[in-house]
Amino acid sequence: MQQKAWLGIDTGGTFTDLVLVDAARGTQWLHKTPTTPADASRGILDGMAEILRIADLDASEVALVCHGTTLATNAVLERKWVRTGMITTAGFRDVIELARQRRPSFFNLDLEKPAPPASRDLRLEVAERIAPDGTVVTALDEDAVRDAVATLKARGAQAISVCFLHAYANPAHERRAVAIVREMWPDAFVCASSDILAEFREYERFSTASVNASLLPVIDRYLDRFERGVAGLGIAAQPTIMQSNGGAVSPASVRRTPINTFFSGPAGGVIGAVGLGAAVGVKDIITFDMGGTSTDVALIRNGVPAKHNVREMGGFPVRTRTLDIHTIGAGGGSIAWVDPGGLLKVGPQSAGAMPGPAAYGRGGDRPTVTDANIVLGRLNQRALLQGRMAVFPDLARKAIEAHLCAPLDMDLVRAASGIIEIVNVNMMGAVRVISVERGEDPRDFALMPFGGAGPLHAADVAAMMGMPRVFVPQRPGLLSAMGLLHADARGDFSLTRLVRADPASLDALNIGLADLAARGAAWLEQEAAGAPAVFEWQGDLRYFGQNFELASGFPSGHLDGAALAAMVARFHAAHAAAYGYAMPDRPVEIVNLRLSVTVQRPVPPLNAAVPRGVKLRDALIDERDVWFFGAGFQPAPVYDRDRMPADVRFHGPAIVEQMDTTTVIPPGATVDVDPAGNLMIAIPTVAEGRVQ
């Protein structure tokens, strides 16, 4: 690919971040613009035009546009999907509502079960049956399919999922039903469960396919506006969209499987963290991405981010390859409130982009985490975004006093500091989920904060977790957008082959591997025809009688006896590492086969110039009283990050401000600025009495 300008765009709940890199000149431009919730594409396109104008760069010079979006996530969480129909095997219309016996909360009797995307009146049954081995037990009743399509159309369905029993073993009936839908209703949005997830466990497969179908029109409309807008700016390059697995693909792929974008934006940050960590030799990282509405955390061990094959979204299991990112409703816009018992709570409700925190002066009157940070001097009292966005401390104080001080009978500082302490504890819990609860010791990792609010809270969270280091990138508020420019093209494929892991199963396994190879080759032809690609193979294995699997890799798309034995040996070792024991004498099953196809893309230089030949005092712009956890108010110097030289050391307390974020450095912490301008913060020993 010709090295011209590359543009990364990450849409968050409050701001849309843009990074433009001119690889030929080795320069970059950074920009933040308010997100437009009513139509996110409008804010994105406005931001693209603005950053091109700032860079004085012609749109025709842009060779790559990569976009991370939370549209699909928000649509599911807010139930803004379309009316969705389901055509399924007779007797199985209620599978997605019956779900599993497991309760998400054993002791909550008032827990409301989430409504599935396809309501019961839009779930229609047809006669057909395929056995687990793929043989046809009952032929597909095509007339019943036609009647179902006519009924769904008359009842106002806008999308249809076709979910037949055991279609993972033989998709013929599902594919014929999809063909009938398209014959009768050419404009319908339709998908087959075997094309979305060719794996067993009908509840998870039906749920994944239904959620995917419900998003097809939503994503299609959004991408249509986005693609037309990009072309209208004069950019000839086809945009790419970040997926949850850390790879970027064409809009055509996303239109078929919008569920692959659930963690699109946060995945960009994790991929960016991997690249930055490798550049400075820090390979064990816990990422801490705190934005306006949520906080996303992930674990990177030895330069490799943890991954999952199933995630819950809006109460429904969605099986798709994704980075292991844990999200909680804690961000700068999280609203502080008093519960009926008189306790202070923070989030998960958020003020969002509009009206936003009270201090933004856009009409918000509820106290938020951002308002507390402003009242406590942790954020600039006059403006953010290097002066482009005015803030109003009086409005922040009034919101906290009206909604918290009076009901709780406490002073302003105690209420504001309470907000900070509570949100820090909430985020500490998120870090524990992806570290301690995964069997990892967080003290072995560096905490890398990014997002607009991550560096504000990172030092406190690290101290509470006993983590000794915080690694603040040069542009943390824009790391997710930068990470999009690190993204390779990546496709993930899977299918079920439920067989014993012994030589008698080799023929069945190799037939399945050939199927995966064909699907991978078709994807490669669409996404990057002629480009060299890396094929990675894995199997999901378990001991006979178990219900959960562990992944074990193998080197090629063909298994022989030796490769099979080596895969089983790796499974025993993985089981011992995960659970503390192995059972080498017990029979092993292979459940699923998996293929990942990756096309590496060149990465443009991403580090902006770091000031040389200047002193730290040249970066000093202010001094103000700042509240610190465990220390109260203390005078702290305020530094401009853009003027801060490399290879210097200083100590907290201090505040470091830049266009995209603010970093709070507590008393006792030591900061080393590395040659690339990253802040390496050594956290002091956790004070007695702090939360462990």
pLDDT at residue 76, rounded to an integer? 83
- Candidates 644, 692, 652, 689; CA nearest to 671 is 652
pLDDT at residue 621, rounded to an integer? 94
Concatenated DSSP letters of 217-274: HHHHHHHHHHHHHHHHTT--SPPEEE-TTS-EE-HHHHHH-GGGGTTHHHHHHHHHHH
pLDDT at residue 529, rounded to an integer? 86
Question: pLDDT tens across 289-344, in order?
Answer: 998 878 899 999 999 998 888 877 777 888 888 888 888 888 888 999 999 889 99
pLDDT at residue 28, rounded to an integer? 85
Question: What are the average pLDDT values for consecutive 10-residue runs of the chain, which has 692 residues?
Answer: 79 82 82 81 91 92 90 80 96 92 73 86 97 96 98 97 97 98 96 95 95 95 94 93 92 94 86 89 94 88 88 81 86 91 88 83 91 95 80 93 93 95 94 90 95 93 94 89 89 95 96 96 92 95 94 94 96 92 96 95 69 85 93 95 92 93 95 92 64 34
How far is the C-alpha of 638 from the C-alpha of 12, rounded, in Å? Answer: 27
* Torsion angle of the four alpha carbons 201, 203, 208, 214, in this order, in degrees rounded to the nearest 10: 150
Concatenated DSSP letters of 51-111: HHHHHT--GGGEEEEEEE--HHHHHHHTT----EEEEEETT-TTHHHH--S--S-TT-TTP
CB atoms within 10 A of CB 151: 15
User: pTM for the complete prediction?
Assistant: 0.85
pLDDT at residue 609, rounded to an integer? 64
Question: pLDDT tens across 600-633, in order?
Answer: 988 776 566 677 778 899 999 999 999 998 899 9
Strand 84-89 with 123-126, pairing: parallel
pLDDT at residue 3, rounded to an integer? 57
Residue 626 to residues 220, 334, 652, 662, Cα–Cα distance (Å): 48, 21, 11, 13
Structural domains of the chain, ranges and CATH numbers in brackets: 5-75+221-261 (3.30.420.40), 84-208 (no CATH), 263-488+603-692 (no CATH), 492-599 (no CATH)
pLDDT at residue 482, rounded to an integer? 87
